[in-house]
Amino acid sequence: MSHQTRPSRRVGIVDIGSNSVRLVVYGNRLDSFRPLFNDKTSCQLGADLNRTGKLNPDGCRLAEQAFQRFINIATLLEVDRFEAYATAAIRDASDGADFASYLEGVSGRKIEILSGADEGLAGARGVLGAIPDAAGLVGDLGGGSLELVRVADRRATDSDSFPLGVLRLADFGSREDLSRHIAASLDRPAWLHPSKSPGSLYCIGGSWRAWARLHLAHSRHPLEIIHQYAVPAREARAFCEMLTRMSSASLADLTPVSSRRRPHLPAAAEIMLQLIDRAAPERVVFSSAGLREGLMLHGQRKKVRTRDPLLALCTRIGRSGARQRMTPGSLMAWISALDLGLAPAEERLAKAACRLVDIAGMEHPSYRAEHAFMRAFRLPAVAIEHPERGFLALVLAARYDGRIDQSWTEPAKVLTAEDSCDRALWVGLALRLAMTLAPGISKARLQRRAKSLTLFVHRDFASPEVERRLAALAVALDLAPDLQEL
């Protein structure tokens, strides 16, 4: 894989895959997983690969047109770092290298043909960038291949590549034949077995995203967000069993999934089922970040690669609409003084809330709470699980409205444990009080005792509103409020 380390303003990655050719343009912000531009052309270069050993001629024509179009778009978008990569179809086809050379000749752009190992490691790097604490097995299912990589502690270890892309599996006539073919490939690597810490199976690729979209609808999940959607392994396996037994007519009725993806669901489900049986993960987690994000991160500064993408995004969003500039550090110190017993993950979400504390400041007062809640719940962010979205949204509902029992908070409470809902309320009420004092918070402090909560504040800031919000926080903590003027 090529190495490029200089900082860049915009990064354009073209992925010439077995199914499609796609251009994604990223900015150089610390929340750079949010693309500035994302478009694809369905070419199906690998549609005939199993039968002919060559690329699909019609797909080649479409791919050439798409590649030139994306080069033009990248130029118009003033992309500073432009890179093009080809994966399984071009890698494995007998005429693949020749086609890549032809594209290079007519376009003047270099195309790197990724090995299976490099493709797998790039996908794993993308997952680790978007889910920094990922631990377990990363699976990248494309049209031409399946890459598996074991990850832990932000590093990739064992890896392998298999010719098990969904386009290649389309010709198998029966489930039994398909199952035996997949098993023969997955039985090969000695390392593919349950580890002492099984962790999760992290799924990337269009067919598995279609699986997730279908399961979201089937389970009536309150969020239509695929990234970090997590399904217990036993439940995922049962759903796979159902999909592998579905007829073509039944698959055609699965409207949550595009008609192009439906025929590939049984193969995608069979692969997932066999991986669950071999690796014994605790759950299956879906990632919207994968190969392209990993390629983008490979050439970025260390600061971009190792930052917390959730906090980076919340910092930028919070600054854009805030009426009052409160430093997240001072607000977090305010919360910490309450000794709320936050779990480490909740403490991180509290830091995110401190950055979003005035996210609805420019909205009409009657709708600020609901607006802040919905923005946090549906935040276009990575590195945040669905229950964590619920926690963060409830914090902001309480920050603006002083409560979390509104009807529109129900979806978040479905995802969030009851004791976490209580702690979200406490954090939100603490921020509500802090923002009432702003900018006088620098001259105020909270002290929690066994039976009381004392606020020491300059007398000029000791208003009836401050008394009411101190009382609300104290009552929620089952303490007596005590206001002391300085």
Nearest residue to 5 (alpha-carbon basis) of 79, 81, 85 = 81
pLDDT of residue 384: 98
Q: Residue 79 — very low, low, confident or very high, per pLDDT cuts 50/70/90? A: very high
Average pLDDT over residues 72-87: 97
For residue 4, tell me if it sits in a domain.
Answer: no
Q: Are residues 170 and 281 in the same domain?
A: yes
Question: What tens digit of pLDDT does each residue of 389-403 get?
Answer: 999 999 999 999 999
**355 exposed, middle or buried (CB, 10 Å; 0-12, 13-18, 19+)?**
buried
48 half-sphere exposure, CB direction, 13 A CA radius = 13
Confidence label for 34 from pLDDT (cuts 50, 70 and 90): confident
Q: What is the pLDDT of residue 5?
A: 44
Same domain, 131 and 73: no
Residues 162, 256, single domain; the answer is yes
- Do residues 83 and 124 share a domain? no
Q: Clarify whether residues 345 and 365 are in a common domain.
A: yes
Domain assignment present for residue 478? The answer is no
Residue 303 pLDDT class (50, 70, 90 cuts): low
Confidence bin at 196 (pLDDT 50/70/90): confident
Which residues, other chains included, contact 468 with Cβ-Cβ below 8 Å and sequence gap of 6+? none
Number of Cβ within a 10 Å radius of residue 249: 7
What are the tens digits of pLDDT across the range 419-446?
999 999 999 999 999 999 987 888 899 9
pLDDT tier, 7 (very low <50, low <70, confident <90, very high otherwise): very low
pLDDT at 16: 98
Mean pLDDT, residues 189-217 taken together: 94
User: Sheet harboring 20-27: ordered strands across?
Assistant: 35-42, 20-27, 10-16, 81-86, 111-113
State how far the Cα of 24 lies from the Cα of 38, in Å rounded to an integer: 4
For residue 73, give the 3-state DSSP assignment.
Answer: helix
**Which pLDDT belongs to residue 304?**
62
Distance, CA of 187 to CA of 184 (rounded, Å) = 5
Exposed / middle / buried, residue 383 (Cβ in 10 Å: 0-12, 13-18, 19+): buried
| 259 and 319 in a common domain | no
State phi, psi for 203 to the nearest 5 degrees: -105, 125
Q: Read off the CATH number of the domain in which 135 is found.
A: 3.30.420.150
pLDDT at 471 over 90: yes
Whether pLDDT at 72 is above 60:
yes
- Res. 6 pLDDT band, cuts 50 70 90: very low
Max Cα–Cα distance, the chain, nearest Å: 84
pLDDT digits (tens, 9 = 90+) for 214-262: 999 999 999 999 999 999 999 999 999 999 999 999 999 999 999 999 9
Domain stops at, among 64, 88, 113: 113
Task: Looking at the structure, tell me whether residues 249 and 375 fall in a common domain.
Answer: no
Residues 82 and 205 in one domain: no
pLDDT at 322 over 80: no
H-helix segments, 256-341: 265-279, 291-298, 302-306, 309-321, 328-336
| Residue 31 pLDDT grade (very low, low, confident, very high; cuts 50, 70, 90) | low
Q: What is the pLDDT of residue 30?
A: 58
With a cut of 60, say whether residue 355 has pLDDT above it: yes
pLDDT of residue 247: 92
* Torsional sign, CA 50, 52, 56, 58: negative
Q: How many domains does the chain have?
A: 3
**pLDDT computed for residue 301 by the predictor:** 65
- Do 29 and 129 lie in one domain? The reply is no
Q: What is the pLDDT of residue 100?
A: 98
Same structural domain, 98 and 173: no
Same-domain pairing of 109 and 121: no
Co-location of 39 and 168 in the same domain: no
- Give the range of the structural domain holding residue 40, as residue numbers without chain letter: 11-113
pLDDT for residue 324:
73
0.85 surpassed by pTM = yes
Q: Which residues contact 53 (CB under 8 A, 6 or more apart)?
A: 93, 94
- Quick one: what percent of the chain has pLDDT higher than 70? 96
- Residue 85 CA to residue 109 CA, distance in Å, equals 11
DSSP summary character for residue 319: H
Q: In 173-193, which positions are buried (b, 16+ CB within 10 angstroms) versus exposed (e)? A: eeeeebbebbeeebeeeeebe
Query: Residue 204's beta-bridge partner residues?
Result: 140
Tell me which of 398, 414, 436 is where a domain ends. Answer: 436
- Over the chain, what is the mean pLDDT? 94
Give the Cα separation of 322 and 24 in Å (integer). Answer: 30
State the CATH number of the domain containing residue 406. 1.10.3210.10
Structural domain contains residue 484: no
